[in-house]
């Protein structure tokens, strides 16, 4: 699946703080669809369908859930981000195109705010697929809480359930890496560097290390091309900032400076028609409990 080029509003006055709801909508409307090829590749490999009972940790605004439900899977998403979860509810539970009957999306979807342990199967068999589709391995400390989260989710699944972890591919295979490097440079160059989830290059064994800490057994892996395509630089800036990878840089400097430097870093990827195109590779690791 090739990402659709999205033409989005020009970003507002950068002197005004951007609220979490705006960032969540930028993620849902601009950025999340860039990962659709990753979701599709995983679901194809695992033959996700009517027999799948999936629990998605950090489900965000719910695109992966929607794709799985459209294949017939029963899906539960859990997240602590209230704004993204509200958008997931709009997608899966409020859209009149998604029928509420036995075969409809709403009948197959459930959303839970909080920790994974809160997603106890309601009136159904235990989960047989656990997914973590928020890519790890590109932000300092982004995998620290994942092993405990998986540990609390595994008891909700059948024995031998499949677990899928996802992450960024090698920096040399990701055209977006030099743009993301702006985040770490600005955070580190601040007069008083601040801690936070700033960008770092993905490492070869990021996913395998998380699996080992969680007591999971690797059972295959793959790489997927996920190009980032935007209708213009403004959309690209908003989409990239919605990932959360620039939060430490914004705290260390200000949003206006971060937006300006990200826009400059995008120039090598600007095409004659004004669109922005950056080829990337993402990884996934299939494990069993």
The predicted-structure confidence for 176-214, as pLDDT tens digits, reads as follows: 999 999 998 998 876 554 445 567 777 888 999 999 999
Give the whole-angstrom CA distance, residue 253 versus residue 248. Answer: 9
Rg for the chain, CA atoms, rounded: 19
Cα–Cα dist 30/279, whole Å: 16
Run of H or E including 284: strand 281-288
Burial class (CB in 10 A: 0-12, 13-18, 19+), 229: buried
- Identify the structural domains of the chain with CATH numbers, from first to last: 20-174+201-228+280-288 (3.40.50.150)
In angstroms, the CA 227 to CA 164 distance is 21
Look at residue 140 in the predicted model and tell me its pLDDT: 67
State both tokens at 36.
Answer: 């659709």
Residue 95: what pLDDT?
53
Q: Which ranges of the chain have pLDDT less than 70?
A: 1-18, 95-107, 140, 190-198
pLDDT value of residue 93: 86
Residue 230 has what pLDDT? 98
Query: In whole angstroms, what is the distance from residue 188 CA to residue 38 CA?
Result: 31
CA 195-281-24 angle, to 5 degrees, is 50
Q: What is the pLDDT of residue 97?
A: 47
End-to-end CA distance of the chain: give it in Å, rounded.
Answer: 30
């Amino acid at each position: 699946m090739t990402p659709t080029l999205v033409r989005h509003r020009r970003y507002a006055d950068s002197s005004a703080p951007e609220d979490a709801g705006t960032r969540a909508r930028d993620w849902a409307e601009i950025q999340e669809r860039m990962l659709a090829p990753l979701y599709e590749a995983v679901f194809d490999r695992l033959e996700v369908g009517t027999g799948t009972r999936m629990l998605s940790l950090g489900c965000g605004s719910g695109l992966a859930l929607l794709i799985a439900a459209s294949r017939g899977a029963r899906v539960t998403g859990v997240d602590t981000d209230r704004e993204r979860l509200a958008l997931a509810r709009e997608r899966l539970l409020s859209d009149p195109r998604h029928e509420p009957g036995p075969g409809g999306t709403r009948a197959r979807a459930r959303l839970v705010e909080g920790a994974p342990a809160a997603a106890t199967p309601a009136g159904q068999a235990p989960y047989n697929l656990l997914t973590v589709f928020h890519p790890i391995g590109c932000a300092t400390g982004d995998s620290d809480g994942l092993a405990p989260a998986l540990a609390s989710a595994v008891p909700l699944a059948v024995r031998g359930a499949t677990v899928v972890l996802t992450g960024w591919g090698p920096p040399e295979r990701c055209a977006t890496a030099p743009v993301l490097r702006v985040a770490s440079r600005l955070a580190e160059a601040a007069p008083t560097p601040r801690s936070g989830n700033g960008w770092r290059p993905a490492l070869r064994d990021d996913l395998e290390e998380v699996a080992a800490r969680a007591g999971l057994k690797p059972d295959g892996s793959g790489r997927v091309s996920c190009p980032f395509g935007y209708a213009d630089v403004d959309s690209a800036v908003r989409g990239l900032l919605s990932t959360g990878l620039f939060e430490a840089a914004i705290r260390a400097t200000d949003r206006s400076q971060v937006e300006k430097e990200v826009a400059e870093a995008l120039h090598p990827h600007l095409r004659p028609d004004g669109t922005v195109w950056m080829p990337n590779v993402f990884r996934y690791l299939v494990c069993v409990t």
